[in-house]
Structure 1
Amino acid sequence: MSYAIISLGGKQYRVSEGQRLLVDRLDVEEGKTFTPDVLLVGGSGAPSLAPKDVTVTVKVVGEQRGPKIRIGKYRKRTGYKRHTGFRAALTQIEVQSIGGKKKAAAKPRASTKKTEPEKAPETQKEAEG
């Protein structure tokens, strides 16, 4: 599985293993791993839409600020000029693995065959004679 489409912060990203990308600030500590929602997995054969058995593991590398965006307001012939700026708060993440199976909860194995309860030894001796 060479790529996956994940959902983070209301946005969708196409990622592959080992890829680093900047996303909107996440509430996850630096160095921790998490699993985002997987929307599609593809690359080997037909793409799988909303797979239930595939996970994407992502590690938070660090936090940083985006480039400064300058915003200017101007009204002609009035002398009105205003400038402001904005820097987005971003988190850098690294995709560690794509395609790891989700661990299913351990279910106790119930035998399908019905077994008759064993008779007590005393009752078997009485039946023999």
Structure 2
Amino acid sequence: MFAIVRTGGKQYRVAAGDKIVVEKIAGDAGSTVSLSDVLLAGEGSDLKDVSGLTVSAEIIAQAKADKVIVFKKRRRHNYRRRNGHRQQHTILKITAIG
């Protein structure tokens, strides 16, 4: 069985046992979270009713993404700015759908 869930403004297709990387969700490693914003669910080509359906997941780790360097420059104006950013994300393991 699979489900389409929305978290952090993005949509993910998940099934039991999958590992996904999502925007940061509050919680410690080992705790469980419930993703209640299920958009679609089904098995094979059959679609199921999603009213009251939740996806439970276990937090594997809280991590940071690779650093993104933002460099701005304006020619002939002695203007240079260098900034870096590391987005925080959460690694989830889907335990059950239903």
Query: Which category describes the TM-score, using the shorter chain as reference length?
Result: 0.7 to 0.9
Provide TM-score, normalisation by structure 1: 0.67
CA drift of 1:16 comes to 1.6
Partner SS for 2:54: strand
- Mapped to 1, the partners of 2:93 and 2:31 lie a distance apart of 11
> More strand per residue: 1 or 2?
2
Structure 2 counterpart of 1:70: 69
Task: Say whether the 8 Å CA contact 2:28–2:62 is kept in structure 1.
Answer: no
Alignment length (residue pairs): 97
- Mapped to 2, the partners of 1:76 and 1:15 lie a distance apart of 47
Question: What RMSD in Å do the two structures reach over aligned CA positions?
Answer: 1.6
- Mapped to 2, the partners of 1:95 and 1:28 lie a distance apart of 15
Q: Which stretches in structure 2 are left out of the alignment for 5+ residues?
A: none
Which protein, 1 or 2, shows the higher relative CO under an 8 Å CA cutoff with sep ≥ 6?
A: 2
> More helix per residue: 1 or 2?
1
For the pair 1:17 / 2:42, whether they are aligned, the reply is no
Q: Which stretches in structure 1 are left out of the alignment for 5+ residues?
A: 101-129
CA drift of 1:11 comes to 2.3
- Mapped to 2, the partners of 1:16 and 1:32 lie a distance apart of 19
- Mapped to 2, the partners of 1:10 and 1:30 lie a distance apart of 22
Report the residue type matching 1:48 in the other structure. K
Structure 2 counterpart of 1:84: 83
- Mapped to 1, the partners of 2:72 and 2:10 lie a distance apart of 29
CA drift of 1:93 comes to 0.5
Structure 2 counterpart of 1:42: 42
CA drift of 1:7 comes to 1.7
Task: Say whether the 8 Å CA contact 2:5–2:13 is kept in structure 1.
Answer: yes
Report the residue type matching 2:90 in the other structure. T
CA drift of 1:4 comes to 0.6
Identity of matched residues, %: 32
Provide TM-score, normalisation by structure 2: 0.86
CA drift of 1:95 comes to 0.5
Displaced runs of 4+ in structure 1, greater than 3 A? none
